Amino acid sequence: LAKTTQPISMDSYEGQEVNITCSHNNIATNDYITWYQQFPSQGPRFIIQGYKTKVTNEVASLFIPADRKSSTLSLPRVSLSDTAVYYCLVAIQTGANNLFFGTGTRLTVIP
């Protein structure tokens, strides 16, 4: 059963770049890597998704090495409002959508 491993928590000061790394050793060939953000009492919000190399959008970048056994979510210049739990997910099986949410990484941004 493919799982992901992330740090349980991270602290960062406002304005810094934050990098959260996720390990997914059993990722399958057709699986994508997806990151979500969750605030208290809200549903997860899609941040970014990628397959290999680098993906960038208006809020984050996703770096995926060639072996795809890990990925790094990069948040540039974080603010207090970025304090949340961040989940890294991979599809467990091709053709299924049984997404596995681990416990995520709780990011706390400090003034």
Partner 1 sequence: NAGVMQNPRHLVRRRGQEARLRCSPMKGHSHVYWYRQLPEEGLKFMVYLQKENIIDESGMPKERFSAEFPKEGPSILRIQQVVRGDSAAYFCASSEGHSNQPQHFGDGTRLSIL
Residues binding partner 1 (CB under 8 A): 30-32, 34, 36, 41-46, 49, 87, 91, 94-104
**Rounded to whole angstroms, how far apart are CA atoms 104 and 110?**
19
Neighbouring CB atoms inside 10 A of 74's CB total: 16
DSSP characters over 23-63: E-TT--TT--EEEEEE-TTS--EEEEEESSEEEE-SS-EEE
Minimal distance, residue 71 CB to partner 1, in Å: 14
Shortest gap between Cβ of 86 and partner 1 (angstroms)? 11
Residue keyed to tokens 């934050």: 18
> Which residue(s) pair with 81 in the sheet?
none
Q: Whole-number minimum distance, CB 104 to partner 1, in Å?
A: 6
